[in-house]
Amino acid sequence: MTTLPAEKLRCFYPPIAPHAHDLLDVGEGHHIYWEECGNPAGKPVIFLHGGPGAGCNENHRRLFDPRRYRVVLFDQRGCGRSIPHAHLEANTTWHLVDDIERLRILLNIERWQVFGGSWGSTLALAYAQAHPQRVTELIVRGIFTSRQKELDWFYQHGASMIFPEVWQGFIAPVAEAERGDLMSAYHRLLHADDQVIRLEAAQAWSTWEGHAISLLPNPDFVAEFSEAHHALAIARIENHYFVNKSFFAPDQLLLNAGKLHNIPGIIVQGRYDVICPPQTAWELHQAWPQSELIIVPDAGHSVTEPGILDQLIRATDRFADC
């Protein structure tokens, strides 16, 4: 695959506002924010954001042709506009899978396309394997399956060799004696009684991700991930999920990929994705041979990488009239 000239790359559809939005009481103290955009009579699609804990933003609406798609987005438990903020109780992958089904039933949708990137790809795969009869197509990018080797790569070793100077900021809140298990050390810090300690740890955790998300340095990402409100949700929720292996059995998503046999799918992956390296996307494609794997040769992790965005728009356009 070759890099396309910039003038031929597809980009976001124009900005669009939701025509419906609300908070859905999903029980156990959680209320999730959801919104609907585009054509109410169009092809239904649900967008699953990353993190876990990142929330949706306005650009996520713009990945789909608003004339042809009925676009549903929601902020997962504890983040974005959902309440309570950064709340971890009754917050697991399987609670989120159930929330997706609640939204589908609420909106009277029989089947829909499922779109997710990064952690959103994890959740998309988990949902599709649990409810394959409800999924028309899968579009996933920046593949993450929450295996120990993937977590160790970004939070213990591996990525530190690519960003050694940034890594110093990530390990700074952790006592040197505890750095052999950074995930557990951060779990203690993010649950500390002292609010200052919690926030310092959250910002260090989230800022590390903000530095690594794009192929080239992007100070806007670093600023967004460093902001206190955002950092607290993403750090606490990510760490909560990751110390629990995202509530999966070992290799669960790859071992159960046969359940996707009848679902058309496109996998979009940046060649130089430091957060979710291409090995996992390749392994998913091998386990799900009906999928199409597209490796973008000059991209990192972010959905806004020009080549990744181009391929995602092409994918949603391709499936729009199916």
Residues tagged active-site: 118, 273, 301
Q: How far apart are the C-alpha atoms of 219 and 311, rounded to whole Å?
A: 24
Phi, psi of 25 (to 5 degrees): -75, 110
Report the phi/psi class of residue 48: left, alpha or beta, with left for phi > 0 and alpha for psi in -120 to 50.
Answer: beta
List, in sequence order, the alpha helices (H) in the chain: 93-106, 119-130, 148-155, 164-171, 182-190, 195-212, 219-226, 228-243, 252-255, 278-287, 306-319
Burial class (CB in 10 A: 0-12, 13-18, 19+), 66: middle
Q: How far apart are the C-alpha atoms of 176 and 72, rounded to whole Å?
A: 45
Q: How far apart are the C-alpha atoms of 251 and 236, rounded to whole Å?
A: 24
Q: How far apart are the C-alpha atoms of 271 and 115, rounded to whole Å?
A: 20
Q: How far apart are the C-alpha atoms of 179 and 159, rounded to whole Å?
A: 15
Kindly tell me the sign of the dihedral angle through the C-alpha atoms of 99, 105, 111, 112.
negative
Report the phi/psi class of residue 218: left, alpha or beta, with left for phi > 0 and alpha for psi in -120 to 50.
Answer: beta
Is the preceding omega at residue 84 within 30 degrees of 0, hence cis? yes
User: For residue 70, how many other CB atoms are within 10 A of its CB?
Assistant: 22
Matching residue, tokens 């957060």: 275
Name the percent of the chain in helix, strand, coil, to the closest 5.
45, 15, 40
